[in-house]
Homo-oligomer: A and B are copies of this chain.
Amino acid sequence: MTEPLGPTGKPAIVTGGTRGLRVIITGAGGFVGKAVARDLARHHDVVGIDRAPFTCDGIAPIIGDLCDAQVLQSAFSSGCDAVIHLATIPGGAAEADPALARQVNIDSTMTLIDAAAQAGTRPRFVFASSIAVLGDPLPAQVDDATPVAPTLLYGAHKAMIETWIATQTRRGAISGLSLRLPGIIARPRGPSGMKSAFMSDVFHALVARRPIVLPVSPEATMWLMSLRRVARNLVHALGIEATGAFTLPAIRTSMRDLVDAIADAAQVDAALATHMPDPGLESAFGRLPPLSTPFATALGFAHDGSLAELVASALATLA
């Protein structure tokens, strides 16, 4: 068990210089990456790296692996004011291919941090960490003091990189901030390598009026954030000086309430969703207790406001 790093910089100071930065985004062709890149491209010089070809308005794409030195050289050749590091091998995919997960989540990430430190002058480094760094089972109430105790390989990788970023920040090489993201909805259909894919699948099924059998019970509780909101939080992280590692706020909902809210918003029958709980998924993703995030809240990070707003935002970006 390790304690959250907490913010170690000054809180919530919005810097004047948040226009015209050279920002490198990894995983820029992904679900979250594209949304962040699109937001940032309005005011910044954005380079997006992804291993799969992608296009995004106003972004210079670099297609290749983060472990390829030439990819990093291209990305950092014109300097670096900030990095938003989203590329990862997530939970389920990491369990299926631990060697690849270690290469991307540890090796390439450490190399990326080195490259950023060398290309810039104490560049901002925003790391998409995960609530997977927290333990299983969780305490009755999670807050900024809840110990880090991952059980997933993915969660351990994220926790290890949080430590590395905190050290490199302490050494003055970067200005690092690790944000622990909750479940982000609604991801596109298809294999994401995420064990938590059902949280998005329920949106696609209900909107299409298809029945869906959910692998958690109606009582299962989750922490969720919409795509738009997570993009806004990640962009916000560039404009403040705080460093450290902590959990972002999230809407906590039961699966029953989520299904009802989607059914209400999409004018469909909630009974399309039925339940056949998988004990492993229920335990890992369906027992999330009340969450208190004073660090993040004080720094201006926010959740979607309400379950209805979360669902409306998720439905608006349904791909």
- Give A contacts to B, CB under 8 Å: 1-3, 5-6, 8, 98, 102, 106-107, 110, 114, 147-151, 153, 155-156, 159-160, 163-164, 166-168, 170-171
How far does the Cβ of A178 sit from chain B's closest Cβ, in whole Å?
Answer: 12
| One of B5, B6, B102, B151 near A171 (C-beta < 8 A) | B151
Chain A interface, DSSP helix/strand/loop, else mixed: helix
When the two chains form their complex, are residues A167 and B150 in contact, meaning their CB atoms are under 8 A apart?
A: yes
Q: How far is the CB of A95 from chain B (nearest CB, A)?
A: 10
> Ordered nearest first, which 9 A-B pairs have the shortest CB separation?
A2-B2, A156-B167, A3-B3, A160-B160, A159-B163, A150-B167, A151-B170, A160-B163, A2-B3
Copies of this chain assembled into the complex: 2
Question: Of residues A155, A159, A160, A170, which shows the largest number of chain B Cβ atoms within 10 Å of its Cβ?
Answer: A160
Per the bound structure, the CA–CA distance linking A106 and B157 in Å amounts to 12
Given the known inter-chain contacts A1-B6, A3-B1, A106-B106, please indicate yes or no for A167 contacting B153, CB distance below 8 A: yes
Q: A163 touches which one: B3, B163, B171 (CB < 8 A)?
A: B163
Give the docked Cα–Cα distance between A159 and B151 (Å).
Answer: 17
- The answer to whether B166 touches A149 (Cβ under 8 A) is yes
Residues of B within 8 A of A159 (CB): 163, 167
Closest to A2 in B: B2
Contacts of A163 in B (CB 8 A): 2, 148, 150, 156, 159-160, 163
Residues of chain B contacted by A155 (CB below 8 angstroms): 167
A102 surroundings in chain B (CB, below 8 A)? 110
Q: How far is the CA of A255 from the CA of B106 in the complex (A)?
A: 40
CA distance A98 to B118 in the complex (A): 14
Shortest A267–chain B CB gap in Å is 44
How far is it, in angstroms, between the C-alpha of A149 and the C-alpha of B169 when the chains are bound?
A: 11
Contact B156 A164 (CB under 8 A): yes
Residues of chain B within 8 A of A168, CB atoms compared: 156
- What are 11 A-B pairs with beta-carbon distances under 8 A? A1-B3, A1-B166, A2-B5, A2-B163, A98-B114, A106-B106, A149-B166, A151-B170, A151-B171, A156-B164, A160-B160
Q: Which residues of B contact A164 (CB under 8 A)?
A: 156, 160
Name the CB-closest residue of B to A151. Answer: B170
In Å, the complex CA distance between A3 and B176 comes to 19
Determine which residue in A8, A107, A156 has the highest number of CB atoms from chain B within 10 A of its CB, and name it.
Answer: A156
User: Chain B residue with minimal CB distance to A170?
Assistant: B151
**Interchain CB contact under 8 A, A148 and B110:** no
How far is A156 from B166 in the complex, measured between Cα atoms in Å?
A: 9
- Residues of chain B lying within 8 A (CB to CB) of residue A166: 1, 149
> What are the residues of chain B within 8 A of A110 when measuring CB–CB?
102, 106
Closest Cβ neighbor of A5 among chain B residues: B1
**Nearest-Cβ distance from residue A82 to partner chain B, whole angstroms:** 22
Chain B residues near A148 (CB-CB < 8 A): 2, 163
